[in-house]
Structure 1
């Protein structure tokens, strides 16, 4: 009988190790999922902060409109053909640090900017040597928000909300933030778009769409 039972203890140990391994693997998977959920929650929080900041910037310059041309913009009235809110033009454009507004460089680096620490006297009043126009200030503030988004690896875009015909910040605009492989756009054909043209989120997209007025 003793001869026949040799190795039984080893089998029991192997079975115990197998069960323990399954339990550990399950726990590891749970940990990975928990970390992923935490990261997702963190990036969503950052995205909401960006949206709030950008919404405040949009409200600060309701009359700022430009015509769009790459990274170069020209001041326009809201009623002009092709006029786009300055914030939308800068955020949606390719520029990251510097743009041109009415032929003047506007930069968040401080090397080329209408902002200045110097002052001059005009009619017995001290004013900045270089004064920014509303569109230049709007462009600079938009660049700062865009730079923060870039540093956080979050893509940001401003577009007209689905169903809104008037392209004006005062009516209804959609701020889209996206991360990882998702694009901050509304597109029916692009599989990596945040949502379709009706604003319906696409399956698996990692993004947020927020309305701003």
Structure 2
């Protein structure tokens, strides 16, 4: 009777198949982590943009920020600026900063709050910086604060 010495062809094929599946799984994990890292970077950038505008709103409390357009007003470069002129300039600056990063920004009333605070919405990709119960591309629900499924946005409560 002869006994087999070494490894048979079937064992080698099974081992190679397992190794191939493991390498493929590892490659998929790396690919997924790249996408998640990119989304984490976008969130950090969005929070920084919202924080920037929030700090500007804090220091210029008498300016009107909600409901104004983002057009740049250069009259704020002279010595006779009103608080609203500064607010317009702040919004124009931060909107341009967001646009440079392919993001949109909006200042809306915070939903479901009693203190009448403003919320700064910063959105990217297909998500809109808005509140809506019917629009699936909106960032949050309109009547209560709840992020939409798959929304790519950040909301910061401000003054």
Give TM-score scaled by structure 1 length: 0.62
Aligned equivalent of 1:80: none
Larger RCO, structure (CA 8 Å, separation 6 or more): 2
Whether contact under 8 Å (1:176, 1:210) holds in the other structure is: yes
Give the unaligned 5+ runs of structure 1: 1-7, 65-84, 100-105, 108-112, 117-127
Is the counterpart of residue 149 in structure 1 residue 95 in structure 2? no
Which one has the bigger helix percentage?
2
Aligned equivalent of 1:73: none
Superposed displacement of residue 187, structure 1: 0.2
Aligned residue pairs: how many?
151
Larger Rg: 1
Aligned equivalent of 2:137: 192
Whether contact under 8 Å (2:112, 2:145) holds in the other structure is: no
List aligned pairs for 1:155-170, cutoff 5 A.
Answer: 155-164=104-113
Is the counterpart of residue 180 in structure 1 residue 158 in structure 2? no
CA distance in 2, matches of 1:89, 1:190: 20
Aligned match for 2:84, one of 135, 155, 165: 135
Query: What secondary structure sits across from 1:177 in the alignment?
Result: strand
Whether contact under 8 Å (1:161, 1:174) holds in the other structure is: yes
CA distance in 1, matches of 2:15, 2:113: 64
CA distance in 1, matches of 2:57, 2:30: 40
Query: What secondary structure sits across from 2:66 in the alignment?
Result: helix
Superposed displacement of residue 17, structure 1: 3.2
Task: Map Cα deviations across residues 171-192 of structure 1 (whole Å, 9 max, x no partner).
Answer: 4111111121111111000011
Give TM-score scaled by structure 2 length: 0.81
CA distance in 2, matches of 1:114, 1:47: 26
Whether contact under 8 Å (1:193, 1:205) holds in the other structure is: yes
Which one has the bigger strand percentage?
1
CA distance in 1, matches of 2:40, 2:76: 38
CA distance in 1, matches of 2:76, 2:132: 37
Give the unaligned 5+ runs of structure 2: 1-7
Whether contact under 8 Å (1:186, 1:199) holds in the other structure is: no
Task: Map Cα deviations across residues 114-136 of structure 1 (whole Å, 9 max, x no partner).
Answer: 415xxxxxxxxxxx5xx333222
CA distance in 2, matches of 1:194, 1:56: 22
Whether contact under 8 Å (1:57, 1:142) holds in the other structure is: no
RMSD across aligned positions (CA) = 2.3
CA distance in 2, matches of 1:165, 1:136: 28
Superposed displacement of residue 207, structure 1: 1.5
Superposed displacement of residue 18, structure 1: 2.4
